[in-house]
Amino acid sequence: QVQLVESGGGLVQPGGSLRLSCAASGSIFSINAMGWYRQAPGKQRELVAAITSGGITNYADSVKGRFTISRDNAKNTVSLQMSSLKPEDTAVYYCNAEIDWADATAWGHDYYWGQGTPVTVSS
C-alpha cells in the first residue's frame, strides 16, 4: 500500500509565491518519476512539471521560468516552488508518482495520485 500526501496549497495574491510538497509513504521499493498536475474548474487535468529519479525535469510551457520542481530521494518527497503566480494558475494541484512497491505478499508497479491541494491566485 502506497500513499501520497500533499500540502502547501492556499490563497495567494497575483505575483506571489507558494510552495507545494508531496510525501510518498508505504510499501515502497523505489520511486521513478514524480510530478505535479493541475485541474482547473471545467478543464482537464494537465501536467505542470515532472522530475525523474535522476533529477531530469520537464515543465509545461505556461509555467516555465516561474515554477521549479525538486525532489528529495532520501525522504521520498517532491516539491513545487511556484513564483510570479497568475490568476490562471488557480487549480487543484495533484501529486503523481511512478512507484515500484512490494510488501510481504505481493509486488507491483503503479502510478499513484494524491488527493489534491487547491491553489487560488486572486487579489
- pLDDT tens for 4-39 read 999 999 999 999 999 999 999 999 989 999 999 999
Is 101 a residue whose pLDDT tops 90? Answer: no
SS (HEC) of the chain: CEEEEEECCEEECCCCCEEEEEEEEECEEEEEEEEEEEECCCCCCEEEEEECCCCCEEECCCCCCCEEEEEECCCCEEEEEECCCCHHHCEEEEEEEEEEEECCCCEEEEEEECCCEEEEECC
pLDDT of residue 113: 97
**pLDDT confidence of 103, banded at 50, 70, 90?**
confident
Partner residues linked to 10 by β-bridges: 119
Question: Using CA atoms, how far apart are residues 113 and 115, in angstroms rounded to an integer?
Answer: 7
pLDDT of 43-93, one tens digit each? 999 999 999 999 999 999 999 999 999 999 999 999 999 999 999 999 999
The mean of the pLDDT values for the chain is 95
Is 1 a residue whose pLDDT tops 90? Answer: no
